[in-house]
Amino acid sequence: MRHWTLDDIDWGAFDRAKTDEDTVRIIKAASMVEFNGNDYARYLEKVFAGDAVFIKAAWDWAEEEVQHGEALRRWAELADPEWDFDEAFKRFTEGFSLPLETDASVRGSRCRELIARCVVEVGTSSYYSALRDSTDEPVLKQICGNIAADEFRHYKLFFDHMKRYRKTEKPWLVQRMKVAVGRLIEGEDDELAYAYYAANKIPGPYDRKACIAAYGSRALPRYERGHVQLATNMVMKAVGVKPQSRVGQFSNRLAWRAFDRRRRQLQEAAPGF
């Protein structure tokens, strides 16, 4: 069930004077990754074969992700009427595909797959919250607010199903942490970097490291400490560590320091495109 549609967005309030090139570039990339949501639902359908309740939820989830892509696409087209989404999306899907041709979770089990899904939704919920809070452009603010609310709901969805599988699979804390940390590191994966490359017609062959820096140096400065803190707490909850515990508080400080360091590294390494 969708909680909003494109018609709920006040497109007429778009204010070009409040847009900037960097924001337009990262929104173009994000729109394509979101629009690709159905690919992941197809994969989840195979991994969770037999679990009809979850499969139905996964397709509803994908429908919302695709809508995120559509809303961001429309905003990017308002900001840059010359931009050709279809052409950029073709370039993106031709050069990048998710390793999803498998019947078992690439994470090793259904519970672990769901922990990884929680981590992804932590990433998106905090990112769109940060974008909403850092932009003055009213339409983008509204879109990102709506998307962030969806992403928090997605986290809850995967979290609830994860708890169900945790009861039977009983993975150890170390295994749960391994999945979460692994997925966090992959946060900087090819998908967004390649989407940035394809969306912004970067000349020459794809340079993974440069594109990660190009995207990250524009995206990470939008986060405030509160966004990172909430995200860290959500990851801990998914893993089964209490954020209020000593380990939790220590992890929170560590996560902020690591985030801040990475942000500076990416800004220093940022290429000219």
Does position 65 interact with Fe ion (CB under 5 A)? The reply is yes
Q: How far is CA 266 from CA 179, 188, 214, in A?
A: 24, 11, 8
For the bound state, the minimum distance from the C-beta of residue 84 to Fe ion, rounded and expressed in Å, comes to: 22
Q: Which of 68, 74, 176, 218 binds Fe ion (CB under 5 A)?
A: 68
Structure tokens at 103: 């019947």
Binding window for Fe ion (CB under 5 A); candidates: 77-85, 148-156, 168-176, 180-188? 148-156
For the bound state, the minimum distance from the C-beta of residue 65 to Fe ion, rounded and expressed in Å, comes to: 5
State how far the Cα of 45 lies from the Cα of 116, in Å rounded to an integer: 16
Nearer to Fe ion, 155 or 175 (CB): 155
Does position 151 interact with Fe ion (CB under 5 A)? The reply is yes
Q: How far is CA 39 from CA 43, 84, 147, 183, 243, in A?
A: 7, 22, 19, 18, 33
Nearer to Fe ion, 47 or 213 (CB): 47
What stretch of H or E contains 57? helix 52-79
Does position 161 interact with Fe ion (CB under 5 A)? The reply is no
For the bound state, the minimum distance from the C-beta of residue 191 to Fe ion, rounded and expressed in Å, comes to: 13
- Assign residue 240 a region (left: φ > 0; alpha: ψ between -120 and 50; beta: otherwise): left
State how far the Cα of 69 lies from the Cα of 65, in Å rounded to an integer: 7
For the bound state, the minimum distance from the C-beta of residue 204 to Fe ion, rounded and expressed in Å, comes to: 30
146 CB-near residues (< 8 Å, 6+ apart): 3, 4, 8, 9, 71
Does position 154 interact with Fe ion (CB under 5 A)? The reply is yes
Binding window for Fe ion (CB under 5 A); candidates: 137-145, 153-161, 219-227, 250-258? 153-161
The 11-50 contact track toward Fe ion, x by CB under 5 A, reads: -----------------------x----------------
Does position 191 interact with Fe ion (CB under 5 A)? The reply is no
Residue matched to tokens 């749960």? 176
Q: Which residues bind Fe ion (CB under 5 A)?
A: 34, 65, 68, 121, 124, 151, 154
